[in-house]
Structure 1
Amino acid sequence: MTKLLKINSQVNKGIQIVILCFFVFIDHIYSQNDEKFYLEQAGFYKTILRTKNDTIIYLTTKQKTSVPKPTLVFVQGSLPLPILFYDDISTGSIIPFKIDDYRSKFNFVIIGRKGIPLIGSYDRDSRGYVNEKGEVPKNFIENDNLEYRVKQVVSVVNDLSKNKHFKNEPLFVIGHSEGYRVVAKAAENNKKIAKMVCLSANPFNRIAESILKERFYSIDRDTDDQSQKNVEEDLKDYLTIKYDKNNYSNNIKYKNWLSYNQNLSFESFKHYKNPLLIVYGTKDIGSLQNDLLPFLLNKKNLKLKSYPNYGHNFEFRKINANGEELETTYHWDDVFKDIVEWLLLKEV
């Protein structure tokens, strides 16, 4: 009897394992089908790029025609966001401008952030993805630095340049906010990038942006004494980078801070020979130092395009006489229309 009970127990465990595996398998099928559905709905297909030490996922718009066309790689900003979002009606990408009108002109490419799901719910994830514990995934945090993001972009550019569907036409990159700094570094001495567009950041680093904001706000608030102390602290942080980076090399958060502050984007621009377009809104204080680029670069194929009264995301805020905000409108599509016109120019 004891032996029979043991056998029955083993059988029951085996059945449980089979059932568990069945549901895991079914759940896997459903998740695959969900991903396939959302990719199809958004008009993208997925590429899994395996390098020697990494796996990178990027999406490319589906080819509606066999006619060759330029490829545009969009590099997003700093938040831990999926690259596709769905709601009850449709699925869209993290690209902030409408791309449907331009699919016949470009192949669009978006690179996934490390450790973040490819697809997310707009309601749940549009402010930043967190896992079931309410935390940003560790894999994202460990790779949230300039060095890693540049490696991603360079790897994808190299992969596209070898693909028969893309290699015979120009490849362009656009970087917004943190993406500005990423593409600037990735484009150093990179002849595969035919044109580059950098939006909504400054040509120095985050510390310089912080200093400019500190000076700007102190003018209206009469806080010069405190602002001066803050500026001196920022300058001290920058000037001691070369001494501190060895002491804090194992600190993940410091590595992110370090990577975006020890590199100056305008120095990267010096090593990029092809046409460069810098785009920013005049209400985006951190971007205003782009006005200095003609003084910093001896570059004939540099173009600056500013948008009066627009902010970091090219938003326009309508304010009444009491300083109350009445309405905010976003003008990404107008900005992108101008970018397209510049990208398609034969001579710049």
Structure 2
Amino acid sequence: MKLNLLLVILLFGALITRAQESSRLYLGYRILHFKFKGIATDVLVKSKRGEENLGKPVLLFSQGSLPIPLIIQDGLGSIGPFPFDQDLLLDYFHVAIISKPGVPILASAGTLGPDMGYLDHGSQAPEVYRSNNRLDFYVERNLACIRMIYRQSWSKGKLVLAGHSEGAAVALACAGKSTCVRALLYCAGNPAGRMSSIIQQFRVRGERDFSLQFDYYRKLVKSRAAQLSQSETNDLSFSGGQFSIFKSLDIPVLVCFGSEDPAAPLIDYLQLEMIAARKKNVEFKNYPGLEHNFFELHKDRSIDYANCRWDMLAADWLVWLKRLDGHHEILSTDG
């Protein structure tokens, strides 16, 4: 299982050679440090070589739910933080990503848990992560990061937000609160929230009775915040519906999803809602045959780890953004 998860991350991130490791600190990524509510936070920024100080828009990517370090070292080299080949975007963007709270930027694969998550003292995720792993924290922190990026001479004050799964919810909420954001790339999120995803996953597995899941959510809603465990707080924070946020946005939004994602029916419903609301700024891109993490499936519906399509998504993002650029001035640089 751990080998398969490492393979997922290998396919998700750009593989960086040892020569690159030894020639440049943190593998060619510049690092921005800041503190949010006393918590040390790092932002990795990838730029085209020689254009680090050129004014460009910034694409800020929000990753999924696990406490995975941004860079993982293994026997082959180092695995970068993005699920797509960031080089596809570097002519037009500086590409950035924020560390998880309490999780180091860099770790060895051998020291991580079965899901490649960082474990404090070998048993569980760090307390700083567990106590802050909720939607409101990530939104406030990312908005602080957006303000910091906005002030950088190389940012041009233009941001495109992208997010995957849990990160899609974070990116969406930030887009609803920041005037700096020019476009949103919402990938494999569930507009009906976390509990809906949990129920859909059970449904796909063949379950027919979801009373326990509804009872669990009912308990979360009725309980006071102090009565909830950290994992329950996380589930509750991400379980709110997102339809009203989509309706409130005026910026261009591209919703990307795999047809085999358990949340795909909820994305279909979102599309119907956007049509009914006459929201022409929200567009949808369905990837037939791909699952939640944009892998293909074998005939037996197991994941085909050899066929990941994140690079196809990144290429499609760029096509979409170029089409919009004449009206929204998203891609202009100082060059």
For 1:160, the equivalent position in structure 2 comes to: 149
Unaligned runs of 5+ in 1: 1-35
Secondary structure class of the residue paired with 1:319: coil
Distance in 2 (alpha carbons) for counterparts of 1:38 and 1:198 = 35
Structure 2 counterparts to residues 41-60 of structure 1, below 5 A: 42-51=27-36, 53-60=38-45
What residue number does 1:304 align with? 284
TM-score by length of 2: 0.80
Counterpart position of 1:290: 267
CA separation of 1:41/1:119 partners in 2, compared to 1, >3 Å: closer, same or farther?
Answer: closer
Between structure 1 and structure 2, the one with the greater Rg is 1
Deviations 1:74-127 (Å, cap 9, x if unpaired)? 100011111112234433322111112432221011100001111012344371
Q: After TM superposition, give the deviation of residue 278 of structure 1 in Å.
A: 0.7
Q: How many pairs were matched up? A: 299
Indicate the residue corresponding to 1:314 in structure 2: 294
Query: What's the offset of the Cα at 1:239?
Result: 4.9
**Aligned partners of 1:178 and 1:264: how far apart in 2?**
13
Q: If each structure's helix is expressed as a fraction of its own residues, which one has the higher value?
A: 1
User: For the Cα contact (< 8 Å) 1:44–1:59, is it kept in 2?
Assistant: yes
Deviation at 1:153, TM superposition (A): 1.1
The match for 2:224 is 245
User: Which position in structure 2 is the counterpart of 1:82?
Assistant: 69
CA distance in 2, matches of 1:324, 1:130: 28
Contact map agreement 1:203 1:264 (CA 8 A) in 2: yes
Q: Could you tell me which residue of structure 1 aligns to residue 7 of structure 2? A: none
Query: Distance between the aligned counterparts of 1:162 and 1:196, measured in 2?
Result: 20
Q: Distance in 1 between matches of 2:217 and 2:84?
A: 35
> How far apart, CA to CA, are the structure 2 residues paired with 1:160 and 1:326?
37
TM-score (norm 1): 0.77
Q: For the Cα contact (< 8 Å) 2:296–2:303, is it kept in 1?
A: no
Task: Report the Cα offset of residue 133 of structure 1.
Answer: 3.3
Deviations 1:206-229 (A, max 9, x none): 1112333344444xxxx6xxx23x
- Work out whether residues 198 and 278 of structure 1, in 8 Å CA contact, stay in contact via their aligned partners in 2: yes
Q: Deviations over 1:222-250 (max 9, x none)?
A: x6xxx23x2x343344456442234625x
CA distance in structure 1 between the partners assigned to 2:227 and 2:290 by the alignment: 38
TM alignment of 1:174-189, pairs within 5 A: 174-189=162-177
Q: Quote the sequence identity (%).
A: 23
Aligned: 1:260 with 2:249: no
Check conservation: 1:189, 1:273, Cα contact below 8 A. no
Change over 3 Å in CA distance of 1:212–1:92 after alignment to 2: closer
**Superposed CA offset, 1:62-84 (max 9, x none):** 46224322210010001111111
Higher relative contact order (CA 8 A, sep 6+): 2
Equivalent pair of 2:54/2:154 in contact (CA under 8 Å): no
Equivalent residues of 2:34, 2:42 under 8 A apart? yes
User: Distance between the aligned counterparts of 1:158 and 1:259, measured in 2?
Assistant: 23
Return the match for 1:204 from 181, 188, 192.
192
Question: Is 1:145 aligned to 2:134, yes or no?
Answer: yes
Aligned to 1:279: 256
Aligned CA RMSD, in angstroms, stands at: 2.6
Encode CA deviations 1:44-71: one digit per residue, 9 max, x unaligned. 1111113454432111124622432221
Does the 8 Å CA contact 2:220/2:232 hold for their aligned counterparts? no
Give the Cα–Cα distance (whole angstroms) in 1 for the partners of residues 144 and 99 of structure 2: 13
Amino acid at match of 2:143: V
